[in-house]
Amino acid sequence: MRITDTADLWWKNAVVYCLDVETYLDWDGDGCGDFAGLAQRIDHLADLGVTCLWLMPFYPTAERDDGYDITDFYGVDPRLGTHGDLVEVIRTAKDRGMRVIVDLVVNHTSAKHPWFRSARSSKDSPYRDWYVWRADPPPDTSAEVVFPDQEDSIWQLEEKTGEWYLHKFYKEQPDLNVANPAVRDEIAKVMGFWLQLGIDGFRVDAVPFLLETSGIPEEETERFPDPHEYLRALRSLVDRRAGDGVLLGEVNLPHDQQQQFFGGTDGDELTMQFDFIAMQAMYLSLARCDVAPLVDALTSRPATNPDNQWGMFVRNHDELTLDKLSEDERAEVFAAFGPDPDMQVYDRGLTRRLPPMLAGDPRRVRMVYSLMFSLPGTPVLFYGEEIGMGENLAAEGRLAVRTPMQWTSGRNGGFSTAAPSKLPGPVVEGGFSPEFVNVADQRRDPDSLLSFMKLLVRRYRESPELGWGTFEVLGQPHPQVLAHLSTWDDGTLVALHNLGAEPRTVPLVLPDCGSTHRLEDLLEPGSTPLADDGSVELTLDGYGYRWLRVVAEDSRRLV
């Protein structure tokens, strides 16, 4: 096995962990998480086996969109610390073998950004054409808004100058005019700045929106005929400045369109993209206890360059979007996992985390994470998933899953010593509260979810077949069961997942295998011989999961 390749193309089998400094750990006791707190918890992340930390926006913000409305692209929100504190975190993370990527949110600025303040004040402002304006009244664009409960148009009238500006997200987030070369230069400068500070790349926010030019006057788009050329230029910039830096793009589009954002099979645009399609199909499969939707999604992925990678996830920081399912499919997932209106948002998503959706069933929760880690791609965890945190539906919309990290069973879950009213959001209550779900207790418990997650991470990392290899579905009779084979070079791994509550016996025939091979369980002790024709019967508990390494008689692989 070309094990040394995994050091170069590190993102192919990384373990990414996303957190918001604001909700992770408050070290100075003011109620707000900070870099000094995060520094204290780098060892927790290293212990979990994280290899790449993704920091959600930590820039100065007007706080309309939880940090995604930035007032200074070069700054650090003073509530979280200073550039110095950030650099200390980066350095400590690197010492523990972790890379650090940061959110790049350049589709828009905050309306309070000095560029927009200037732009909106006069048509003669030097920053006027850094944004997108129209002089005539806009048509009905209510179908195009991203936050339908808050906005009814993507155009907002600026009274002072009598023109409308474009905003695909909140009206407090005016879109930057990417057709303007000055804006493009500035974005490159912003990226260069953070790369120079030692980060390893970016999670690129809302990429299709950034590249989209509808609404921009024609004379300007003529100067910007191919937005993908721009994405290629940004990728080249990262390559030149950081060598092995990455662009991990948020592109929630059908697979065939995502292919374009990788740069086709040349692979010279985004290094990685989240697989929103597979994620949504996974929830449909879970709701139906039928693996077919998930298998369809994975096998319909477009051809990509082998250096690119898909980011796999169970949950991210936003609503659990189900927008790419049909209305009926979405209704099935809603009915199974979030039937109450206060669990749903924007008519397309859920505001819950996985464990409450599964009524806290530990077998089922573990099965889902085992499944996610075993699918072809790089797993991306959202903070708190490692201990099975729940949500707080009392927090508005997407904030329900952005509650303070639960470190101990103590006050505020050990997140902060401040009064609860000072925290960025309410702590989770009820059965998933810190009293029952916290890092300190789970660290000491070999049977905890945290211990299980560490095992998954360790096995994932030592099984590059999963991140690098081919994905082949093995035929067997149970629609509830996914049996798949991942092969890379001379390594092969079989993974079995039972989405149903009934135990199953799964007959399999492994290609090119015989009685000189055996299967070694990787998540529990166990070894199973294969028959001469490569056939074997494997048992699975209800919601059971198994990872098995195919080991040849003469294999020198450590098992």
Question: Under the rule (CB under 6 A), what is the footprint of ligand GLC?
Answer: 65, 68, 105, 169, 205-206, 250, 318
DSSP 73-135: TT---TTT--HHHHHHHHHHHHHTT-EEEEEE--SB--TTSHHHHHHHH-TT-TTGGGB-EES
The rounded Cα 222 to chain-centroid distance in angstroms is 34
* Distance, CA of 100 to CA of 128 (rounded, Å): 34
Annotated active-site residue in 22, 103, 200, 205: 205
Provide the strand spans (E) within 146-289. 155-158, 163-166, 201-204, 246-249, 272-274
Select 163 or 205, whichever has its Cβ closest to ligand GLC: 205
Annotated active-site residue in 77, 151, 250, 275: 250
The rounded Cα 162 to chain-centroid distance in angstroms is 40
Select 404 or 469, whichever has its Cβ closest to ligand GLC: 404
Alpha carbons within 13 A on the beta-carbon side of 42? 23
State phi, psi for 314 to the nearest 5 degrees. -95, -35
Select 209 or 436, whichever has its Cβ closest to ligand GLC: 209
Least distance from ligand GLC to the Cβ atom of residue 473, Å: 31
Select 65 or 200, whichever has its Cβ closest to ligand GLC: 65
Least distance from ligand GLC to the Cβ atom of residue 300, Å: 24
Least distance from ligand GLC to the Cβ atom of residue 505, Å: 43
The three-class DSSP label of residue 296 is: helix
Select 65 or 269, whichever has its Cβ closest to ligand GLC: 65
- Give 256: exposed, middle or buried? Use CB within 10 Å, 0-12, 13-18, 19+: exposed
Least distance from ligand GLC to the Cβ atom of residue 318, Å: 5
* Distance, CA of 541 to CA of 90 (rounded, Å): 43
* Distance, CA of 299 to CA of 278 (rounded, Å): 10
Select 250 or 290, whichever has its Cβ closest to ligand GLC: 250
**Residue 360 neighbours by CB distance under 10 Å:** 16
**Is residue 172 annotated as part of the catalytic site, yes or no?**
no
Least distance from ligand GLC to the Cβ atom of residue 202, Å: 13
**Is residue 28 annotated as part of the catalytic site, yes or no?**
no
Least distance from ligand GLC to the Cβ atom of residue 18, Å: 10
How far separated are the first and last CA of the chain, in Å rounded? 15
* Residues contacting 476, CB < 8 A, separation 6+: 483, 506, 507, 508
Write out the catalytic residue numbers. Answer: 205, 250
